[in-house]
Chains A and B, each alone.
Chain A
Amino acid sequence: MARAVPFRHFLARRAWLARLIVIAALFALWEVAARWFVDPLFLSPPSRVIAALDTVFSTRGVPAALQLTLFELTVAFVLAVAIGLMLGLAVGLQPFVRRSFFPIVLLLYGMPQVTILPLFILFFGIGAASKIAFGVTHGVFPIVVTVVAGVQNLKPILLVSARSMGASRWQIFRHVIFPHMVPSFFAGMRLGMSGVLLGVLLAELYVSIAGIGYFTTLFTQNFDPTKLLGLVGVLAAMAIVLNAVVRRAETHFARWRTG
């Protein structure tokens, strides 16, 4: 039996290889579909998309657009983390404040923010500011919620004992609250990151004069699926990598709990 299926045994111990095969099969399916079955105005095969990647990036304005979008993402993420951390601590540290304001935070978090996207454009213009603002409002709520959750399961006895041993406010924050918050804070950062990504991209796609949204619209209107897929594919790959990096950081900083 074992000799009859050596390849399966080989695969059985290497799940990543099977995963690669699945990905390759999907790409092959896409290639076949695009080459022979779908109108080339709407879909182009992956081989052509990959071959055309350099023409996408040498299109005038595309590198600058990627840079601008990355800039928007970075600023929005930094702001979301800073604001989220401050709001989360302000709401979470006092039980009474938490009971009063946390439901309001959850209520706001549950709202479909995309309905107010046109307002952001009206308030902040069609430039980078509106994308950053929309990214911040998407990213800030998951961070607030996880920070509140993180300080909530802090044992009061730790605070009391630190205070009775004469720790200052800063020392309590630095050595008691902060280490306790770290694991959930990183989970919040990951959620916040995908929120920021969603917010910035939504605003980009809604209206854009220089970011990647401008070029996705341009390529769509020119019926140029090769370039569109190239651009979108690169961004998707970036999102996967970013997420993996933050997830790594999350497990790295949560080590002290178990180890």
Chain B
Amino acid sequence: MMAGKEDRKRDRDALMSRIVQAGFLAGLILIWYLASTRWGVNRLLLPDPVAVYDNLIDILRSGEFIDDLEITLGELAAAFAISVTSGVTLGYLISRSPYAIEVFEPLFAAIYAIPIILFLPLFVLFFGLGPASKIALGASISFFPVVINTIAGFGHVDRLFVTAARSMGASDYHLFRHVLLPAALPVILTGLRMGFTTALLSIIGSETLASLAGLGHRIVHLAEAMDMARMFAYIVFVIAIAVILNTIVSTLEARGKRN
């Protein structure tokens, strides 16, 4: 009886939270609408949401985003592939020896503290304004969370499991496949997710700072042309893409952890 009452109270609380959230977001959009149409905020600073919506529909319908999206996603895929293969391989090799972990882990952690975006001018100098510099930057930024988590994952497997498996005659392959990998996978997956998010951020960021094409470049281009409504529409579009990608990756991470 009591439990039923508690449940109902919790359900009602959850519903209330949803209502508050929806109300908050609706309020924001309402304020945005009023500010741009009624309160005389300059259109060059804040376009009205209806115009942004129209532009967004136009962008989606005309398909003009496809070229930029392809470039950005291509850069992302290349950068993430590079950082995953190098990060996981190097991390695994280092994790094989406690001594190597002690030597290398603080090094990686220290470099991880540097905002590598600082080196963007160097990357542009080396690789030019095209996709190559974005791939290189994205790969080097996302390399660190991947390698650090791989070391943490493989390096902190309980020695007892390893000894037990060995004494029962497990081969190197069996040890890796059935002991090390399952134990390390959750931590590594977290690293991969972090690497993916940072790669996405740094690629859009470097496109914004210095590039010839891509979604980040498109936004800057529209900003410089003062085409605010369309620029806002592209911002919404890019944020939506990022949210979708991050959701997919988080779902994959959660699923990988369950197995």
Contacts and interface: CB of A to CB of B under 8 A. Distances in A.
Interface of A: 12, 15, 18-19, 22-23, 42-43, 96, 99-101, 103-104, 107, 110-112, 114-119, 121-123, 194, 197-198, 201-202, 205-206, 216-217, 219-220, 223, 225, 228-229, 232, 235-236, 239-240, 242-244
B35 to A, nearest CB: 13
B161 interface: no
A6 B246 CA distance: 51
B103 interface: yes
Contacts, number: 132
A206 B208 contact: yes
Contacts of A205: 117-118, 120-121, 209
B107 A117 contact: no
Interface residues of B, number: 50
B106 to A, nearest CB: 7
A9 to B, nearest CB: 11
B251 interface: no
Given A96-B16, A228-B122, A22 B239 contact: no
B119 interface: yes
Main secondary structure of the interface of B (DSSP, over half): helix
6 tightest Cβ-Cβ pairs between the two chains A and B: A118-B223, A243-B113, A100-B20, A15-B102, A220-B121, A114-B205
A18 B98 CA distance: 13
Contact of B118 (A12, A107, A223, A232): A232
Contacts of B106: 19
A12 B117 CA distance: 35
Contact of B243 (A111, A217, A220, A223): A111
Nearest to A111: B239
Contacts of A220: 121-122, 124-125
A170 B91 CA distance: 48
B254 interface: no
Contacts of B110: 240, 243-244
B188 interface: no
A239 B13 contact: no
B82 interface: no
